[in-house]
């Protein structure tokens, strides 16, 4: 288990989307649109708090840090920031007082934002966002690690400076998609594996590691490249666009930290922008050669016989079959299929274990909470039963992912326990 550090579960108290806005059309205000695309609110707010007032606790390998108040309050927020100050923070990772921001702020991605968009964003924060007086919390990174100047070196090593430059060999839509995916939407923050220094191993399409999938916050953010089984190689561009628009398509339903993206960001983008992102993502080549997923009904027949041979099939029959079906096809687009779902085929089972134990926070697309939710099984199934059920699912209907062990489930329990205070609550979003 790579990172026990990034546990991620908040108590789900019902649908509490951060965004108050309920509009169905893309935001008319350009700055707000850019803020949506940058999903600033996901990190710079807490559930029940004021928008953009910060305070979200984020676990890092060195200790917890807190997102800051980015409302235009002059004392506690960014009210005294000039456009240049603002720009230096967003695209350069340096605050007005000269201290380096922790790279939990995805400034290596935001560096690609255009001047126009930065200005629009600045105007939005200064003029549209109500100021909130709320002091920032100091980071909990202790001792020598708390000194921020090495971050400047980090920035030299790991930041690609410069605004996004259109690639001549791609069309406008692709370039717009690249700008959004690599830049504003900072998809790599979760989906690109990180190196020893916590840096993303690739920041754009030129890197094979970019969006290759990564484990973070006790979730496995899936591979977004063209891999046929574990990536999005089996999804059409339209299916991808539908997912970004609604969190649903016929192949999957969003979960984990992606919930924040759907609750606050991509559904608010224009169809053109979402299609551009989909087109761009579809262009990323596979990193591994995989045979296309082919459905196989052997498990269906085993389940329908009522005489499950594998222990996991029995658990599936008792707990999962009513929603996800004996055929593993779910009830798309409302309830996801398990057959051929890239999240099920993911080599890292963290997301699956996490989902079974804890369910997911509610998906609230444009203010409308999802009609159906996954139940939690933390208090209902043992480690053995969950491992058996997931191993069955990962081998059924043509799926071919490695089995899940009881030890993996056991390890995930405490770090994702919503009722435990020991959890390092946090999120890299």
- Interacting residues with other proteins (CB under 8 A): 11, 13-17, 20, 22, 304-307, 314, 317-319, 322-323, 326, 331-332, 334-335, 359, 367-369, 371-373, 375-380, 382, 418-419
Phi, psi of 284 (to 5 degrees): -75, 120
- Smallest distance, Å, CB 65 to other proteins? 23
> For residues 179 and 419, what is the distance between their CA atoms, to the nearest angstrom?
40
- Smallest distance, Å, CB 346 to other proteins? 24
Our CB check for other proteins shows the closer of 80 and 420 to be 420
Residue 159: CB partners within 8 Å, gap ≥ 6?
93, 107, 108, 111
Our CB check for other proteins shows the closer of 47 and 153 to be 47
> For residues 390 and 23, what is the distance between their CA atoms, to the nearest angstrom?
39
Our CB check for other proteins shows the closer of 289 and 419 to be 419
Q: Which residues sit opposite 365 in a β-bridge?
A: 368
Our CB check for other proteins shows the closer of 163 and 411 to be 411
Our CB check for other proteins shows the closer of 100 and 264 to be 264
Our CB check for other proteins shows the closer of 82 and 420 to be 420
Residue 413: CB partners within 8 Å, gap ≥ 6?
357, 378, 383
- Smallest distance, Å, CB 238 to other proteins? 18
Phi, psi of 194 (to 5 degrees): -105, 150
Q: Going by DSSP bridges, is the β-strand pair 214-216/63-66 parallel, antiparallel, or unpaired?
A: unpaired
- Smallest distance, Å, CB 69 to other proteins? 21
> For residues 94 and 96, what is the distance between their CA atoms, to the nearest angstrom?
7
Phi, psi of 86 (to 5 degrees): -60, -45
Whether the CB-CB separation of 225 and 207 falls below 8 Å is answered with: no
- Smallest distance, Å, CB 320 to other proteins? 9
Rg of the chain, C-alpha, whole Å: 21
Our CB check for other proteins shows the closer of 290 and 376 to be 376
- Smallest distance, Å, CB 73 to other proteins? 21
Q: Which residues sit opposite 219 in a β-bridge?
A: 216
Residue with tokens 């406008």: 172
- Smallest distance, Å, CB 140 to other proteins? 21
> For residues 184 and 181, what is the distance between their CA atoms, to the nearest angstrom?
7
């Amino acid at each position: 288990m790579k990172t026990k550090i990034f546990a991620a579960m908040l108590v789900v108290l019902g649908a509490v989307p951060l965004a108050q806005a309920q509009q169905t059309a893309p935001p008319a205000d350009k700055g707000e649109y850019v803020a949506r695309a940058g999903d600033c609110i996901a990190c710079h707010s807490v559930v029940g708090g004021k928008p953009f007032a910060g305070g979200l606790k984020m676990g890092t390998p060195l200790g917890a840090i807190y997102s800051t108040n980015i409302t235009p309050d002059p004392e506690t927020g960014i009210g005294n920031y000039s456009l240049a100050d603002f720009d230096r923070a967003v695209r350069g990772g340096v605050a007005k007082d000269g201290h380096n921001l922790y790279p939990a702020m995805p400034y290596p991605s935001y560096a690609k934002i255009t001047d126009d968009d930065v200005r629009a964003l600045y105007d939005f924060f200064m003029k549209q966002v109500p100021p909130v007086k709320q002091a920032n919390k100091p980071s909990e990174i202790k001792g020598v690690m708390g000194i921020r100047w090495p971050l400047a070196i980090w920035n030299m090593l790991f930041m690609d400076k410069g605004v996004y430059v259109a690639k001549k060999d791609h069309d406008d839509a692709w370039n717009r998609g690249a700008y959004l995916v690599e830049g504003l939407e900072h998809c790599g923050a979760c989906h690109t594996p990180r190196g020893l220094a916590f840096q993303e191993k690739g920041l754009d399409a030129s890197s094979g590691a970019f969006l290759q999938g990564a484990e973070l916050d006790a979730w496995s953010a899936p591979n977004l490249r063209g891999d046929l089984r574990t990536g999005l190689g089996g999804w059409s561009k339209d299916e991808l666009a539908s997912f970004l628009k609604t969190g649903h398509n016929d192949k999957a339903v969003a979960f984990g930290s992606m919930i924040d993206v759907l609750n606050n960001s991509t559904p608010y983008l224009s169809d053109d922008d979402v299609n551009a992102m989909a087109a761009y993502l579809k262009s990323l080549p596979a990193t591994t050669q995989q045979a296309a997923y082919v459905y196989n009904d052997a498990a269906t027949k085993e389940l329908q016989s009522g005489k499950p041979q594998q222990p996991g099939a029995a658990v599936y029959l008792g707990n999962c079959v009513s929603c996800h079906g004996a055929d593993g096809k779910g009830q798309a687009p409302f309830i996801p299929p398990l057959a051929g779902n890239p999240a099920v085929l993911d080599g890292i089972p963290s997301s699956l274990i996490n989902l079974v134990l804890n369910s997911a926070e509610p998906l609230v697309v444009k203010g409308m909470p999802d009609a159906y939710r996954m139940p939690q099984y933390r208090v209902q199934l043992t480690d053995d039963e969950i491992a058996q059920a997931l191993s069955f699912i990962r081998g059924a209907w043509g799926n071919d992912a490695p089995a899940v062990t009881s030890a993996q489930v056991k390890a995930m329990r405490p770090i994702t326990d919503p009722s435990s205070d020991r959890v390092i609550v946090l999120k890299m979003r």
